[in-house]
């Protein structure tokens, strides 16, 4: 794709504006470690929530969705749509608790909830494990995706594309080092507007390229006939629900995804109850109400608003490029072949925005673990705020360098990453219940982590179960979750509970629902017990209906199925009305409005 001088000026202006934001927030970020990592806990809900959306909109995300759609139709997105229930759990059951906790990172939570050496081990181990290997693998994957995109778009070699990516991550690292979370948040909003606008433009161009929506549906029906004849199936590319007799999504796998995966599994950035950079945004919010509204807005935008432009391009790519060896590249090919030439510079800037928003967050988040939860806690406690800000900047540089090195070896790390995704199966119940059940102790969490890792690795290496085989993936999940749950429950009851003083201090600070904290609540009679559990569960259920109603409603309207689309939207709006009524009843109307 040939870029003109005007295109390059647009790209340069984009980078210059991001750099200007970094310099603008330099003085704020340098005040103390709380400003650097949490923006002084003074972020409004719309800014925190939009930053979450921007962060999860990486350069490779449209490509991944295009691949899902090209291989398995619209229903291929259930691989991530199943997590709606987990997202709503974070919104209504955990966002307020996280904000009340007052911690700087979700890793620090270990020593707020538990005591002694097991708690210290949990905090230190997770800080290093999540901060360096896990975080840098994510950074490496995002780097590699951007290398692929630049190679296709600019028609350059892999080494040349890698050199450009190194320049981009260097600039992103500089901005993050300079401005801390404030700079990351504000550039996220700017970047989100650019990339969301351009993916909508590309979706319009893709639909026009196949002759419009009506022609798209006719041509996709012909694709269905060819595919079903070859596989003896009856599925449709346009279906929102998978064919449960298909090889890619058999009944057992779909049931595991929608009934177990969302609450039982842990993976970076999508922990049950919230964690990682999602938790960081909740900590940075002005108060617990802004924390809840930020995560609510994030989930609505993430699931219900953002996917459809990607899906439309994916559907068009099925028609335009039916025999691609790598279906994910269909997104970039549509852009190269059908995007109006006048918008190419903006589209390159949009991909850069998608890349930089994710990289900026990963760097700042990873550095917070290394400095707050390892360096400050175990290595150099008691130093000045200026010292910790400086070390945070150096930690950001360290992560940048490690991620660059890992990018060179991503082919050999691919299998390791697949392994990591299933090693968290079974730990989700502990991550949820540690807030709501007083009897959970540090050994419960240690046992869950260790058992999940060992069982999932043994199943894959000794018994040769493969996560790429959907039935075998379901068995890995079922077996790992079952064994892990039995082990951590046994360990919980075979070990002593946390000391009363630690439990009382946690109960006073966080004020979880009293239902499973009654023994501790009796020791703290001055704390007004929280009894809003049933209302929170109602909001959670309505939140799921709101998201799915909006997701499917918008999709049906786009595909000109107006009656069912309006019905879905009306159902979602009704559920949203219940949530609004409940939050207003609690005195939140001024924040909502």
Report mean pLDDT in 10-residue bins for the chain, 593 residues: 82 88 78 81 93 86 90 90 91 92 91 94 91 84 84 85 87 84 88 91 96 94 84 78 83 89 74 82 91 93 93 95 88 90 86 87 90 93 89 90 79 51 77 94 92 89 85 90 94 96 96 93 91 89 97 95 96 96 77 46
Q: Bridge-partner residues for 285, per DSSP?
A: 43
Cα 219–222–225 angle (5° rounding)?
155
The predicted pLDDT at position 7 comes to 82
Cα–Cα dist 584/591, whole Å:
9
Q: Bridge-partner residues for 43, per DSSP?
A: 285
What DSSP string runs through 473-510?
HHHHHHHHHHHHHHHHHHHHHHSPPPPHHHHHHHHHHH
The third-level CATH classification (topology) of the domain covering 1-27+43-78+105-257+290-408 is Sodium/glucose cotransporter (1.20.1730)
> Which residue do the tokens 């109307």 mark?
589
What are 103's two structure tokens?
Answer: 């911690």
397 SS3 class: helix
The predicted pLDDT at position 4 comes to 81
Cα–Cα dist 363/368, whole Å:
9
Contact in structure between 130 and 369 (CB atoms under 8 Å): yes
DSSP letter assigned to residue 529:
P
pTM: 0.89
> Which residue do the tokens 């994916």 mark?
314
Cα–Cα dist 540/545, whole Å:
9
The predicted pLDDT at position 413 comes to 43
Contact in structure between 377 and 193 (CB atoms under 8 Å): no
DSSP letter assigned to residue 74:
G
Q: For the chain, how long is the longest CA-to-CA vector? A: 72
Domain boundaries, the chain: 1-27+43-78+105-257+290-408, 534-593
- Going from the C-alpha of 159 to that of each of 152, 170, 248, 413, the distances in angstroms are 13, 16, 35, 19
Beta strands in 118-221, from DSSP E residues, in sequence order: none
The predicted pLDDT at position 421 comes to 58
Contact in structure between 504 and 523 (CB atoms under 8 Å): yes
Q: Bridge-partner residues for 186, per DSSP?
A: none
Contact in structure between 52 and 281 (CB atoms under 8 Å): yes
Closest CA to 202 of 346, 45, 95, 303: 346
């Amino acid at each position: 794709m040939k870029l003109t001088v005007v295109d390059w000026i647009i790209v340069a202006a984009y980078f210059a504006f991001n750099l200007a934001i970094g310099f603008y927030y330099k003085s704020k970020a340098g005040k103390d470690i709380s400003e650097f990592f949490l923006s002084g806990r003074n972020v409004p809900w719309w800014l925190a929530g939009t930053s979450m959306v921007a962060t999860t909109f990486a350069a490779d995300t449209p490509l991944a969705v295009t691949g899902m759609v090209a291989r398995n139709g619209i229903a291929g997105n259930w691989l991530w749509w199943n997590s709606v229930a987990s997202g709503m759990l974070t919104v209504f059951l955990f966002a307020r608790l996280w904000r009340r906790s007052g911690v700087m990172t979700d890793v620090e939570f270990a020593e707020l909830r538990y005591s002694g050496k097991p708690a210290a081990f949990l905090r230190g181990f997770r800080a290093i494990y999540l901060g360096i290997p896990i975080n840098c693998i994510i950074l490496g994957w995002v780097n590699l995706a951007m290398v692929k995109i630049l190679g296709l778009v600019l028609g350059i070699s892999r080494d040349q594309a890698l050199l450009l990516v190194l320049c981009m991550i260097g600039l992103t690292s500089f901005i993050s080092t300079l401005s801390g979370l404030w700079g990351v948040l504000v550039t996220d909003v700017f970047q989100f507007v650019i990339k969301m606008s351009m993916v909508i433009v590309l979706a319009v161009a893709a639909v026009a390229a196949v002759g419009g929506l009506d022609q798209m549906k006719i041509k996709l029906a012909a694709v269905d006939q060819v595919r079903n004849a070859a596989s003896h199936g009856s599925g449709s590319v346009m279906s929102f629900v998978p064919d449960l007799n298909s090889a890619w999504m058999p009944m057992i796998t779909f049931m595991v995804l929608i009934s177990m995966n969302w609450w039982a599994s842990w993976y970076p950035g999508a922990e049950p109850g919230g964690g990682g950079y999602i938790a960081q945004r909740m900590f940075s919010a002005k108060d617990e109400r802004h924390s809840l509204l930020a995560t609510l807005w994030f989930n609505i935008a993430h699931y219900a608003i953002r996917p459809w432009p990607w899906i439309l391009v994916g559907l068009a790519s099925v028609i335009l490029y039916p025999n691609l060896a790598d279906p994910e590249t269909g997104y970039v090919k549509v852009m190269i072949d059908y995007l109006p030439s006048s918008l190419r510079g903006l589209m390159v800037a949009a991909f850069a925005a998608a890349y930089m928003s994710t990289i900026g967050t990963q760097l700042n988040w990873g550095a917070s673990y290394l400095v707050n939860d390892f360096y400050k806690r175990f290595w150099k406690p008691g130093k000045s705020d200026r010292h910790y800000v400086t070390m945070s900047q150096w930690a950001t540089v360290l992560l940048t360098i490690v991620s660059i090195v890992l990018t060179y070896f991503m082919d050999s790390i691919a299998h390791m990453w697949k392994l990591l995704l299933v090693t968290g199966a079974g730990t989700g119940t502990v991550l949820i219940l540690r807030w709501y059940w007083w009897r959970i102790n540090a050994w419960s969490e240690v046992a869950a982590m260790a058992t999940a890792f060992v069982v999932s690795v043994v199943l894959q290496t000794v018994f040769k179960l493969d996560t790429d085989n959907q039935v075998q993936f379901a068995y890995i999940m079922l077996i790992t979750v079952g064994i892990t749950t039995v082990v951590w429950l046994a360990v919980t009851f075979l070990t002593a509970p946390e000391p009363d003083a630690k439990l009382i201090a946690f109960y006073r600070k966080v004020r979880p629902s009293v239902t499973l904290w009654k023994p501790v609540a009796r020791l703290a009679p001055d704390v007004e017990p929280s009894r809003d559990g049933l209302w929170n569960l109602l909001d959670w259920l309505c939140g799921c209906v709101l998201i799915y109603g909006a997701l499917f409603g918008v999709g049906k309207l786009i595909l000109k199925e107006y009656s069912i689309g309006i019905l879905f939207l009306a159902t979602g709006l009704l559920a949203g009305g219940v949530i609004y009524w409940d939050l207003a009843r609690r005195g939140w109307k001024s924040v909502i409005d």
